[in-house]
Each structure stands twice: as structure tokens, then as C-alpha cells.
Structure 1
Amino acid sequence: MTPEAAARQQIDQKLTQAGWVVQDLKALNPSAGMGVAVREYPTDTGPADYVLFVNRNAVGVIEAKKDAAGENLTDVERQTERYAAAGLKWRKEQTPLRFLFEATGQIIRFTDSADPVPRSREVFHFFRPETLAAWAAQPDTLRGRLGTRMPALPVENLRDCQVSAVTGLEKSLAQNKPRALIHMATGAGKTFTAITAVYRLLKFGQARRILFLVDTRNLGKQAHQEFAAYTPPDDARKFTELYNVQRLASSTIDPHSQVCISTIQRMYSILSGEPIDESAEDVSLNEIRQAAGQQKLVRYNPAVPVETFDFIVIDECHRSIYNLWKQVLDYFDAFLIGLTATPDKRTFGFFSENIVAEYSYEQSVADGVNVGYDVYEIVTEVTQRGAEVKAREWVDHRDRATRKKRWAETEENVDYTGRELDRSVVNLSQIRQVIQAMKTAVETKIFPARKETPKTLIFAKTDSHADDIINILREVYGQGNAFCKKVTYRAEEDPDSVLASFRNDYNPRIAVTVDMIATGTDVKPLEVLLFMRDVRSRGYYEQMKGRGVRSLDADGLRRVSNSAEGAKSRFVLIDAVGVEKSLKTESRPLEKKPGVPLKDLLVGVAIGSRDDDTVLSLASRLVRLDKQLDDKAKARIQAAAAGIPLGELGKALIAAVNPDAIVQAALAAAGAKGITRSEDTLLPEEIEAARAQRVAAACAPFDKPELRDAIENARREREQLIDHINLDTVVVSDFSEQADAQARAATQGFAEYLQRHRDEIAALGFFYEQPYRRRALTFDMIDELHEHLARPPLMLTTERLWNAYARVQASQVKGTDRRRQLTDLVSLVRFALGLDGELKPFADEVDKRFQTWIFRHNAQRGTAFTPEQTEWLRLMKDHIASSCSIGRDDFDLAELADRGGLQRAWGLFGKELDTLMDEMNRELVA
């Protein structure tokens, strides 16, 4: 058989597998099937190797070539086009044939000439006749729709990084780029982004079916839940109400499904004929090493033709698509869309360096999407140096699988290293020391203010190792079974229910896992990760660290950790096996100088300490502080920074030392001087100059002492130093001379502050303009004054001031036994300014003035207020006592609204109501 004949035989076989009836011209029967492929069909330029008929109409042509070294099918594309444009014998239409194939026995290339820019691509197999019929019936092609029919993306409820990812992807698809990579940090919402893109491809791109590919069953389950929860921006219905989503659990793809979620393992099984081990779907491909003898090639499956999917979204694509598993992606004629937080060189290469969106971990921390982390190290003697068990020692021997023990002598000396721990040798003391060290560190150094153990995840080496850790955890913490749980695929308790409790409930506080929560699974309240296993894969390690990066608001954190104050602002990675040192990680802790006070970092960058460690440490502190402060504190800092928000100050520092941005700045600077440079030819001094300029600009705001003070004061307000070291005893229980001195300093400082800031604070203008004031005193004005006084350096709350005056001028202070309210600050100001001879609660003064006012008013009216009117006036007086003033809007508040509100008051007083309120505001407060 000649090489040409051998190739034709294989082409015939593939056409038949795809549902074509292959015929010679002399045996032509156009009704033999929906699709007929006719060999050596005559045209006016010579016989075409194959002409394809669908429903008796000629639609395509195949140019067949022999399998030979150096045979390049792109060289014969013009020949295919010539046959497609030629006149076919017995055909009336003169339009060129649309579907063009070049094929050998091994390779097939395809061009759809109806595409906006027709471009050939290699396909695994021929398409079915039904597919070409469906494409021919459509007014435009998929690639045409991607270029013209995708409307602008609604940006509501999308983060900037998600908008960038979807728009970047759609731009890439419009340019007919077959592979696109979305690099988004863990926690930035990759799956939500992907579902947004999938929805738009189905609705506007009219995609027939999309494959969402994962590498563990747990991730598939999680993806299915997110599809079910997704509500598109232009439709009130859920995604699963609009489109059929199938999570593949067998070898049958629902013909009505528009989204199919599958593990790559199951899809490989379907296409290779290799029986699937159900447990294989539970373990990440990072953990699977396929034996050479088990590797089977993917082959054509008529039930799942190559055109089954238009798009394949590959979740966690850094680990799922190489070696054996890559065949799944080679099989389908689909656009490939990769999602990953941890790409490596292999990932970039596979996706042809087409990175449509890039959002790094550092950027996500700066944006508040994720939190930063600190590293805490635990080293034990056995972990570091190993140990030896002498011969003829009586010890337990335990079966790894059954955990059955036998008591026996060792036959020889056993030396083991730290790497052999919990595999060939188990040293329970080593596990106990690590757990005890973690407990002590968390309670005294890491989260000393917490009353409960923060949500903690421990990575174990094996399932047996996890069991040992669980037992020792319960022993060390003195807790029961609910306190800590094992969450692995081999756990007897349903892992999904344990995981849900770990995520949402108080217990368990600690989870131990080998693989199930290592990647992709969200547990936002996590604040501690303990590594008791080393990890070889850089990407896998980054994914494991990613379990802790998710941000969480204050309410969400308090739901599972009652004593937490504020939002989650960081997590702590406890390294008990040297995992940080054994790998050079892509993302790194922003905090490089954890022992340096924030004040020193601020002054340092102002003076000129501009190294990466200092800049990134300051950035980390500012981003963390931004999560902890309330809106008022943030507003004060923003005002001191000339309108720049605190979070933006931190983000600017991170961006300033971004190596890629520095290189681009250096290139731009060289270009501005007329110097032609590339990244490879930039001089070190040019790069350093660009860096210095960027860092100087980012650090410039911190030159202002008022900004540094505002940031440091905000931190001091937020944090309290808890001294667990120095114990205290009672020596004297009485007022001391020192306490009196402090009280006098407080009252003197208060009086001086009022004098110094009389023109800056609205409330002070009210008092200093007596008796000719121009505006009423409001609660907001008092609140503003209190904010100023309570900040450093004065730190004078209303309660503290009242107590200071009670100590210094006891005979002139009344009502010391009552709880202070904010409006008591009015009395404090009046007393400090000498407007009142004694200091008494504001409500008491309002009561006294009310009696005087209503008595005078009754006398002037000639008739007294009615009992109901008097009761309403008392209600209005009480409101003034707690809020400094009253207006029409205040009648909507509970104590007045319950009595009938403004409508009832107006019925009692008529037009006189506004006059009465004005009088009361003036006379009861002034």
C-alpha cells in the first residue's frame, strides 16, 4: 500500500466514525445518509480528494495528503481553497464551498471560510454532518458573533479586577485567539468572573455548550453551587433557571445541557476508555502520579464528538492540563480559558503567553480583597535533627492502613530524619510539642486578645498523621470531639457537613486536612494555617496558603469568633516543617519588619529609608489599618493626606516597587531622552533611577508631620497594649497626689484646648459668641468636639473629664454618680469657660431651665398650657436633653412618633409649634 493510500484509508475510517458515508463517485448515492463524503469528485480545476455533502448539498472539501516527514498542511491551504472555489460538476450554485479541511492519516486542519478572518486550526477529528448542517443554518459564525455581538459589560457588583478579566477575555476571543489565561489572586472571585463570562458567551455569543473543567469532585461541587447562586445583571432569574447546568457523574453528557461541570479525570476516562476510580476525583492531580503502564491515549468517542463544547474553562489550570491529562484539551475543538492564582512558566507557555488579565496577590491585599500574612516559625529538635531508636527497644509497631498496634522489640538501630517523620516513624512527642507551641504562640503573641481559638487549619502528611494530630489536639487543648475535626476524603464523618460547620459554626475551631481543603475551598474565617507537611510544588504551596487570604467583614468574623474585633485583617502561617525555607514562593509576606513600630516606619520613609522591606512593611501596615478604622478616623487621615485615602497610600507604595512597572518607567524615561532601549539592554542605573523616582512619589505624602501624626494617632486609638508579663498587686487604694496632678493637668489641658481651637470647631463658636450667637447648637457639633477631644494627645472623653473636675473641684461638681451622656459635654464646656458656676449634668440644667421657661410662658399667655400640651413639651424637653436641639424631623423618632408624631403635635400647637421649638432650643441650651 502506498503512503497516499494508507492515509486515505485512515481518513475514510475517521469520516465513518464521525457519521459520514464515504463513497466513490461511481457509487454515488446522495441519500445514503445525512452526510456523504465523495472521493475524487470532479471540478473544473481537477478532481477534489473529497467533497462533503450534507442533506444533498455540497458544503465542504478535503485535501488529502500522505503521512510523511516534512509534510506541512498549511502549505496546501491554497490548493484546498482552489477546489472550494472551483465549479463542481453537476452543481448549479457557483458559491465557494464553506468548510475546508486538509488531512493526513494523523493530522486534520480546518478552516471555516465564513469566519470574519478565516484562519485554519488543527482539530483532533472530523466534525459530524449534523454539526456542519447546524453551522450552515446560522446567519453568522461563533467567531463572528464574538467580534460583533458582545455588548458592553455592566460593571455593577463587579470588582475592577473582574471587569478587567471579562473584558480582556472577550477582546481575546474577538481576535480568535484559541487560548487565554486569567491570572487572578485567590479570593478575587475567579469562579464568579468565569460564570459572568460563561453567561455572556451563552446569551450573546450563542455558544451551544461550555465545559467547566476541575480536577477534584469537591471543586466541581463548589462550582455547581456558585452557578446555582449566580444572578446575571440583566435578568432576575438564577443562572440555573436560564440554562441547564450538569455536573457530570457518569459517562453520559446531557444533550440539553449548556454547561457541563466535570473533573478532568472523568473526561479522560470517557475519551480513553480507561475505567475511572471514583476516589481519583477526590484528589488533586498534584497528588496523583500515573504509572506509565496505565497511560492510555484518548481516542475518538462518537457519543462525545470533538465539537461537543465551544469553550472549555479550566479551573486551577496551573495543575490540571499537562502530561497525560493534556489529551482531554487536545481532543475538543474549543476555545481554552484558564483560571489560576499561581501560574508558572509551564502555564504561560501552554496559553501562548496570552494573559488577558493579571491580578496579583499583592494587588489584592492593597485593594482589600485579600489580607496579608505573617510567618511564625516553630522548630523542634526532632524536626530539625531527627533521632535514633536503638536495637532491642520495646516500642509500638503500627500498621499504616489498619492502625492496629503490636508491642515488640526493634531488631536493629533505626536512625530517622525529620523528613521521615509520620511516614516510616511517628514521634508523638514531636507532634505534641508543635501543637503546644502553636497554642502558646496564638494565645500569647499572635491573637492575645481572643477568648476563643481562632479558626485554624492544619495540613497533615497522611491520613494516619491527621489522626495522630487530632488526638493530640484534643489532649493539649483539653477539648472534646467537636473542637477539632478531620476533613479528608477518607474521613468517616461526611466531609461536606464538617466543612460547612467549620466555615459557618462556632465548632469545630480546628480542622486537620491532607488534601480536601488544600486548594480551591473557601473558609473565610480562617486566621491560622499550621503546616506540618512540606510541599514540593511551588504552585500547590501557594494554593494551600490561599486558604487563609480571604477577607471577611467584622460581622462575618464575629459570627464564628465572638471576641474578634473588627474585620479580618491578616492571617498567620505557622511553619513547623521549614516549608517557607524549602520553597521560593511567588507571593511573599508584605510585612518584612514586623518588630519595627509604625511610627518609625513613617519617619523612616520620610527621612529616606526607601528599601523594599521598609516600603512594603509600611504598605502592609497601612492596608491593615485601613481595614480596622472607622469612617471618621479614615476621613481625618484622608484630610491630612490632601484627599488621598489611607488604603490608596498603601497601594501606591506597593505599586512603586513593582519590578515590572519600574522597568516600564525606565524604558519610558530612556525613550523621552531619545535613547532606544529594550528590557534586556536597560542599564542598572537607569532601572534604579526609575525606581527611586517612583518610590519618592509614593513616599512624598509622608513628609507631612500632620499625616504621620494622624496615622499614628488613629493606630493608638485602635489598639491597646496588653501586658501579660508584669503581674500587679494592690498596694494603696486611695486617691494619690499623682492622681490629683493628673486630674488638674486634664482640666487645664481642656481649657487650653477650648481657647486654642475656638475658631476651628463649630460647637465652640456657639459658646464663645455668647450672648450674641448666630446659630443653634446641634448634636453633630457636640459629637465633632468630642471626637477632637478623645483623640491623642488629650484622650479626654466626657467621662474622664467629669471625673477629673470631680477630683479637682469636688464642691462644684454634681451628679458624679450618674452615667455620662454625650450632651454632658455642653455642661463641661460652659463650666470650663466660666459660664456656669457649678458643673452638673446637662439634663439637670435643661430641667431647671424648662421650669423657668414654661412658668414665664404661661404667665405671658394668660392661660396655662393644657395637661396634654404640657406633657408634649416635657417630651420635647427630654429630647433636647439628649440631643441638644429639636426640629420637625425629630418627631419621627420613637419616643415622639409613638405619641402621634408631628401630626399630633401640630394638632395641639398649630403654627405656634415652630416658635415654641425655636424658643426651647435657644433658652434650654444657651
Structure 2
Amino acid sequence: MTKRELSEQDIRDMYITPAVLDAGWDKFTQIRAEYQLTRGRVMVSGRLKTRGSSKRADYVLFYKPGVPLAVIEAKDNTYPVGGGLQQGAEYAQMLEVPFVFSSNGDGFLFRNSLPNADVYEKEIALEDFPSPQQLWDWWSAAKELTPAQELLVTQDYYSDGSGKLPRYYQALAINKTVEAIARGQNRILLVMATGTGKTYTAFQIIWRLWRAGAKKRILFLADRNILVDQTMTNDFKPFGAAMTKIRNRTTDPAYEIYLSLYQAVTGTEEERNIYKQFSPDFFDLIVVDECHRGSAADDSNWRDILDYFKGATQIGLTATPKETKDVSTTHYFGDPVYTYSLKQGIDDGFLAPYQVVRFDLDKDLSGWRPPAGMRDKHGNLIEDREYNLRDFDRSLVLEQRTKLVAQKVTEFLRETDPYAKTIVFCEDTDHADRMRRALANENADLMREDPRYVVEITSERGKDYLDDFIFPSSRYPVIATTSKLLTTGVDAQTCKVIVLDQRIQSMTEFKQIIGRGTRINEDQDKFSFTVLDFKRATELFSDPKFDGDPEVIYEPGPTDPPVPPDPNPDPDPPPVPEPRTKYVVHNVPVTVTARREIQYSKDGTPITESLEVYTRNTLHREFDSLDDFLRRWNAAQRKQVIIDELKDEGVFFEVLAAEYGQQLDPFDLICKLAWGQPPLTRRERAAKVRRRDAFTTYGEQAQRVLNALLDKYADQGVGPIEDVQVLKLEPFQHLGTPLEIVKAFGGKAAYEAAVRDLETQLYTDSA
């Protein structure tokens, strides 16, 4: 075979990989072929789901594991040497590496985007591929790293021996943080969406700094006990005997890695501030998990700790920087060194997409006013005024409203999955208790099976259920009612339903709540989640700040001197007012006036129409007419390219085909949905080709191959028959080796021409 007849994989094996190995790159630690960058966006319609195309680089080259340097994109020899450069540049941009190579086996087109490069792009021979040290020296010089800084930024990652590397965005967060510390930056903020592995990222940062000797004593602070325990048991486990948890208000200076609740080391009385048992310079590094929850507030206990250890490097981790007039995460830590957003995580396929079901209730929309002199069920005279959404479940309880919400939640679960893990966010613990009872009554049959079907998990009750609720393999509890306890930090991997019966005004709190559903757990069939909204909280999705950079509006006040104690305190301080009565009304009917289902497209805009309408509108945007579509389809050398492009726009071909209950080709789905053309199944299209006896011009072996390709198309669609690798699979293995099969057509170019002719026959309109 000539070089032009070789497949892309042959070009890699025979030319590109040998050239890289000859340049001194280690096969096991520095070269990663078919390197997966993204998983492919999960797309959901009802109970059906599919994944979009993932992004894979042909090669990523690493100076050391976790420290990428370059991307190589390969093409077969029918392409020019630079045919893969644009694709490689996209992957290099994701990895933030400056070097890109494209090759067709004849040589390399090399792009060097460093500002001090002598030439931006140039062709080099196969034997002139640069060594790892050469590329690193160029990049290190451009970064102006000192030898000491270089040693730190190339410090080894922790490895469990499996060869597993962090995801691309985790490596970026780790490397950027370590480099910032190497350059002397002492206040660092990392913003990463819930479910993207902040704690694992923190572990690798700490591990590298600790092993390098740059940071010898480290304090990891969190504000919930479960966060500390999860961290010690899971991500931080490799620290072993060097690690301790501060408990029982005792300190031991013999350890190197300390984990603690801030409540365990602080208090309102000076003697309870046990962190002061350490000297101010004891810790070299402090990492604050969920730092939006208080570390940036001037008057918070966290801030007292950070101020005491002000000489230490301090890293804040959060999914939701908090920016108000009184509190600013970025004012304290500075701008993020790296941000990985919820939208990007969903687009990459690492986070679960969501759909929204919004319920409008009549009393929420119109309000309610009690008749004059009306008393509630406890005999309290109800204040005569208009009550609305702001009041319900805070100052006034409509029991029929609680019952209706419980009914609608139960109906949804019964229609979809009665055992889908569900968190119901309520206004307060009283509301959470009432909602638990209402849901228990609506699900009495399931409660009889196991009384843990519905539980309350709040700061006051039910915390013993929390471990079972978040454990992926635990069936019970199924529904947890709460107010604030589950809003942040809880790793609820299998949560499939989030119920909002809480009025949410804080964007930070809203993002944290939504984050409870964003994790994907494929083993438990968790790929997406649904938000059931009863208080119009999901209107915050339309706010640009939901997944954008927070606006800094912090207004630091003047530093006032401490106020001395009053030498003559008032012996009779004014009494504390009694809490306002919460009225409970049991006989006011409440109804649902509207129910809307909303999905979100790739760009984050809501899809309020049906899947068919959305698909039709998308196709009409992409193609001017049926003739335009047919022209582009017939002109495409690979039909799968068009299919993949439409998948990336949110066209759910597998889902649509399943809903029609037929084995329809994407071609027929497009023509039917967009232009009303009658469809054919794949088997019907294959049968039409056979009736035409279209293969008589080919030899006997070639005819058998084309008939096998027709069978493959009927079973799996057009994508597999366009990939020459299909010749390595059944039934082609019985027809000869791939090389023998290609020779039967007269060479690779003739084989590819025969496949294109087969596709023309499949999609022709003639009988």
C-alpha cells in the first residue's frame, strides 16, 4: 500500500509515534494517545438520555504527569501536513499549552504560540521533532521561572499507581495555584462548580506543596463536620499518619496536616479560641473550603483565624463567590486564579444537566386576605392584611398549600421514579417538619414498606439519616425535607430531584442548592436532575450572574476603634420581644393554575417548547430549506460530521427515534420533523438498495463486503460504515483482513469511493 492508502491509525503507528519516541519522549509517562478531554454533554428528554460527542486529542504530551506541554493532531496522508492544526489548536487552548503539532506522516506543522517564539508556524521534518526538555525550556523561559520556582511547578502529583490523571480543568486549577504560590502569591481563590472535584483538587495542591517541602504544616478548614470526615476518609486518605482532625478542643503540634471545623477551634469566649494555642507562624498554608460561607466577612470567626495566621498562604475554595455590600470573597482572596463554571461542566459532560418543572399556585399569584375577625386553627386572631408568596410558610401557613405541594411532588415521582433521591428545600425547620408529614401521608404505602422513605434532615432533627441519604447504594431515605442543612457541601451524588418550596433571594444560596443535583453517577444511572419549583425561585436561572462572574459591590467601612465596656451598665436591659406568631390556616383551598416544563439548551437558554418543536426550530436555523439540507448532506464526505454537529446543538436523534418507536436514520428524522417528508426505517432503506442490485459492477468479495456494510447500516446507522475500523469487526473478519478487503476494491481510495457510492444509493429517492 502507498502512504496515501494508509488509515489515520496506520499513520500514527508507523510515522508519528516513532518520531516522538525518537525525540526522547517516554512512552509510559509523557505520551498519552487518544487523550479524553471531555465526556460529551448529556442530553435528556423525559426518561431518555444520550451523550453528545466527546473531545479527544490524538496525543497530549506531558513534561511530567499532570503537566501538559503539547498537543499532536494526526490525519491520514490524503490531508496536507497541517490538516489537523485547527483541531489541535482547540484542544491546546482547553489545556492552555502553547505548542501544537499537526502531521499526515510526511512531517509536522509546528505552531509555537509563545510570545518570544522566532516563528509562529513552521514545517519540521519527522526526525526534527523537539525533545521534552527543549519544549519545557522554551516555556519556562517565557514564564521567566527561576530554578526554585521550576522545581515547585514540576513537583510530582500523587499517584495511586493506576496512571490516572486529573481531568483537564482540575490539572489547570492545580497547576495555576501551585505556580501562583511559587511566584509568592499568598491569597488565592479557586472557583469550581459543585461536583467538579474541589476537594480532590485541593488535595493535589497540598500534596505537591507538602512533598516539595514548600509548605510543611497545613490547616484545612470547613464549617460542617461531614465535610471534614468525607475529606479525611476519601481524598486526603494518602496523608495517612501525618494527618489529624482537631477535636475535643485539644491541639497536638506533632502532625503536619490538620483538618478542622472552624467551630472546633473558635468560640465567643477567649479561652475557647484554641487555635491560639498554635503560634501565629505555625501553619504555612491554610485551605478554606466553601469559603463563601464566612471567611471573607470582616466579623466572622473564620476571618479571625485567617487574620491570626496572616503570614500563611491562604487558599479559598468555592463554587459560589459571595459578593454583597458587606461581604466579598474576592476582596479578601483576590480574583480567581482559575474558574470552572457549571455551564462549562455541563457542556463538557462532567456535570448533570437539569430541567425545570415550574408550578404556579393560585394563592401565590393572587395573594390571600383573611376575612375580618378570622382566627387560625390555634385560636389566634389573624392580622388583617394581604398575605402573598413572601409570607407563606414564614408568617402564615396554608395547610392546603403544603398538602398540594406534597401531592405534586408525589405525582412527579410516581410518574418517573418513586425511589429517586429527592431534597425538598423549605422555609424553616417548622416548614420542613410539616412537609415531611404531608409527604408521608401522600406516600403512606411506601412509608409502610420502610418508614425512612420520607425523613426530615435539619440542624434540629434527623441528622443521623444524612449518611444513608448521601450514600449512593442506599435506597433509603428517598425524600429528605430540609431548610438550610443540605444547601452546601453535602456530596449527594444520586440526588435526582430538587424541590424548591423556599423563597430564595441570594444567588449564592440558589447556586449552592442547584449544586446538590449536578453530580453524575453512572453506576446508579444518575445523568441528570429535575428541579420542581413552587416559589418561582428558578427565575434566577435567567439572571446573567447565575453562571457568570459575580459583580463586586463590597463597600468596606472605616476601621473603628474598639468600644470600651460601659462602666455603668443598665441593670434592667429592655426585654427581648416575643417572636411573631405564625398563623396556621387549614381550610383555605389552593390550586395549581399552571405547570410548565423547561429544559435548557447548550448555550443555557430555556427550551420551553416541546422537543419536536425545538428540534424543528434548530433545523430551520441550520438549513434554509429541504433542498439546502439535501445539497449539504449529499456533498458531505462523511454524513456523521453533520450528525455530530447537530448533536452538539442539542438535537436528540436517539431520543427522537425512540419516541417514534422506529429505527429511523437521522436523515429521515430531519426530513420528517423539519419538512414533513415520509420517513423510511434503516432496514427499509437497505432493502431498497438491494432491490436495485446496485453492486454488480464490483467483484464477488467486494459485493460481500458492501452487503455486510448494508447490514451494519441497518443495525447501527451511517456512522459505523464510514469508519474504516469497522473492517476489524464481525462479520468482516470472515471476509479477510482490512488490507485484503481494501485491496479487493483496488485500494483505499477506491474503497472509500465505494462507501460514498453506497451512501448515495441509500439516500437516493429512486425506487
TM-score by length of 1: 0.47
In structure 2, do the counterparts of structure 1 residues 549 and 300 end up closer, same or farther at CA, with 3 Å as the change threshold?
closer
Q: Residue 381 in 1 paired to residue 339 in 2?
A: no
Deviation at 1:177, TM superposition (A): 0.8
Within the candidate set 308, 312, 315, 1:331 is matched to 308
Displacement of 1:258 after TM fit? 1.6
1:347 to 329, 333, 339: 329
Preserved CA contact (<8 Å) 1:638 1:646: no
- Conserved 8 A contact 1:777-1:885: no
Q: Per-residue CA shift, 1:218-263, capped at 9, x if unaligned?
A: 222222222354xxxxxxxxx133x522222233222122211122
1:416 maps onto 2:387 in alignment: yes
Question: How far apart are the structure 2 equivalents of 1:714 and 1:300?
Answer: 57
Task: Give the 5 Å matches for 1:31-110.
Answer: none
Question: Within 1, Cα distance between the matches of 2:166 and 2:473?
Answer: 25
Equivalent residue, structure 2, for 1:773: 700
Contact 1:526 1:548 in 2 (8 A): yes
Equivalent of 2:656, from 689, 712, 716?
A: 716
Query: How far did 1:438 drift?
Result: 3.3
For residue 358 of structure 1, what is the amino acid of its counterpart? T
Counterpart contact for 1:538–1:585, Cα < 8 Å: no
Partner of 1:556: 524
Match of 1:789 in 2: 714
Gaps spanning 5+ residues in structure 1: where? 1-142, 230-238, 276-297, 398-407, 558-566, 610-636, 654-707, 723-741, 760-764, 794-881, 890-926
CA distance in 1 between partners of 2:220 and 2:681 (Å): 69
User: Is 1:602 the counterpart of 2:618 in the alignment?
Assistant: yes
SS for the counterpart of 2:607 is coil
1:273 corresponds to: 270
Note if contact 1:374-1:571 (Cα within 8 Å) is conserved in structure 2: yes
Letter of the 2:154 counterpart: P
What secondary structure does 2:188 align onto?
A: strand
In 2, the alpha carbon distance for the partners of 1:215 and 1:531 equals 24
Checking the alignment, whether the CA contact within 8 Å between 1:638 and 1:644 is kept in structure 2 is: no
Contact 1:362–1:587 (Cα < 8 Å) also in 2:
no
Give the whole-Å Cα distance in 1 for the aligned partners of 2:406 and 2:618: 37
Equivalent residue runs for 1:520-539 within 5 Å: 520-539=489-508
Which residue number corresponds to residue 160 of structure 1? 168
Letter in 2 for 1:185: A
Q: Deviations over 1:668-709 (max 9, x none)?
A: xxxxxxxxxxxxxxxxxxxxxxxxxxxxxxxxxxxxxxxx9x
CA distance in 2 between partners of 1:497 and 1:300 (Å): 29
- Paired position in structure 2 for 1:319: 293
Q: Secondary structure of 1:324's partner?
A: coil
Question: 1:212 offset after TM fit, Å?
Answer: 0.7
Larger radius of gyration: 1
* 2:137 aligned residue: none
Q: Distance in 2 between matches of 1:492 and 1:363?
A: 35
CA distance in 2, matches of 1:163, 1:250: 36
Q: CA deviation at 1:594?
A: 3.4
2:421 maps to amino acid: K
Aligned position for 1:258: 256
1:854 alignment partner in structure 2:
none
Q: Report the CA distance shift for 1:180/1:415 in structure 2 as closer, same or farther (over 3 A).
A: same
Distance 1:548 1:885, change over 3 A: closer
Residue among 466, 481, 487 paired with 1:496: 466
CA offsets per residue over residues 508-533 of structure 1, 9 Å max, x none?
Answer: 22111122221111112222111111
Residue 603 of structure 2 corresponds to residue 587 of structure 1: no
Mapped to 1, the partners of 2:367 and 2:642 lie a distance apart of: 57
Distance in 2 between the 1:262 and 1:269 partners? 14
Q: What is the letter of the counterpart of residue 365 of structure 2?
A: Q
In the alignment, is the contact (CA less than 8 A) between 1:483 and 1:507 conserved in 2? yes
| 1:90-169 equivalences in 2 (<5 Å) | 148-151=151-154, 156-169=164-177
Structure 1 residues 205 and 717: alpha-carbon distance in aligned structure 2, compared to 1, 3 A threshold = farther
- Percentage identity across aligned positions? 23
Distance 1:352 1:638 in 2: 50
1:631-646 correspondence to structure 2 within 5 Å: 639-640=638-639, 642=641
> Once structures 1 and 2 are overlaid, which stretch shifts more, 570-579 or 462-471?
570-579
The one-letter amino acid of 2:315's match is: I
Would the alpha carbon gap of residues 757 and 592 (structure 1) be closer, same or farther in structure 2, given more than 3 Å must change? farther
Alignment match, 2:455? 485
Query: Would the aligned equivalents of 1:459 and 1:533 in 2 still touch at CA under 8 Å?
Result: yes
Secondary structure of residue in 2 paired with 1:494: helix
8 Å contact 2:239–2:257 — kept in the other structure? no
* Equivalent residue number for residue 398 of structure 2: 427
Determine if the alignment matches structure 1 residue 438 to structure 2 residue 409. Answer: yes
Counterpart of 1:173 in structure 2 is 181
Amino acid at match of 1:716: L
Counterpart AA for 1:774: Q
- Deviations for 1:794-834, whole angstroms, at most 9, x for unmatched residues? xxxxxxxxxxxxxxxxxxxxxxxxxxxxxxxxxxxxxxxxx
Residue from 526, 535, 542 that aligns with 1:577? 535
Shift of 1:337: 0.9
User: Whole-Å Cα distance in 2 between the matches of residues 608 and 887 of structure 1?
Assistant: 43
Alignment-derived partner of residue 743 in structure 2: none
CA-to-aligned-CA distance 1:107-134 (integer Å, 9 cap, x gap): xxxxxxxxxxxxxxxxxxxxxxxxxxxx
> CA 1:391/1:246 → structure 2, altered by over 3 Å: closer, same or farther?
farther
Residues 717 and 268 of structure 1: CA distance in aligned 2, closer, same or farther (over 3 Å): same
Amino acid at match of 2:433: D
SS at match of 1:473: helix
- Alpha-carbon distance in 2 for matches of 1:454, 1:786: 39
Tell me how far 1:179 sits from its aligned partner: 0.9
- Say if 1:507 and 1:756 are closer, same or farther in 2 by CA, change over 3 A: farther
Q: Deviations over 1:694-753 (max 9, x none)?
A: xxxxxxxxxxxxxx9xx664443344579xxxxxxxxxxxxxxxxxxx9x9999755322
- Contact 1:213–1:264, Cα closer than 8 Å, also in 2: yes
Contact 2:683 2:714 in 1 (8 A): no
Q: Distance in 1 between matches of 2:690 and 2:350?
A: 42
TM-score, length basis structure 2:
0.56
Distance 1:594 1:152, change over 3 A: farther
SS of equivalent residue, structure 2 residue 356 = strand
1:368 to 349, 358, 364: 349
Please tell me whether the aligned partners of residues 221 and 262 of structure 2 are also in contact (alpha carbons under 8 angstroms).
yes
Asked if structure 2 preserves the Cα contact closer than 8 Å seen for 1:377 and 1:575, the reply is: yes
Contact 2:321 2:508 in 1 (8 A): yes
In the aligned structure 2, how far is the partner of 1:523 from the partner of 1:462? Answer: 21
CA distance 1:782–1:258, change in 2 (3 Å): farther
Indicate how the Cα distance of structure 1 residues 409 and 150 shifts in structure 2: closer, same or farther if over 3 A, else same: closer
RMSD: 4.1
**How is 1:799-814 mapped onto 2 (pairs within 5 angstroms)?**
none
What letter is aligned with 1:221? D
> Amino acid of the residue matched to residue 377 of structure 2?
D
Q: Secondary structure at the match of 2:306?
A: helix
Contact 1:456 1:510 in 2 (8 A): yes
Cα distance change on mapping 1:389 and 1:274 into 2, 3 Å:
farther
Asked whether the equivalents of residues 152 and 209 of structure 2 are also in contact (C-alpha less than 8 Å), the reply is no
1:608 Cα deviation after fit: 8.2
State how far apart, in whole Å, the 2-side matches of 1:361 and 1:171 are.
25
Quote the Cα distance in structure 2 between the aligned partners of 1:370 and 1:463: 30
CA contact (8 A) 1:777 1:884 kept: no
- 8 Å contact from structure 1 (residues 390, 412) kept in 2: no
Deviation, 1:193, is: 0.4
C-alpha spacing 1:643/1:164, structure 2 compared with 1 (3 Å)? farther
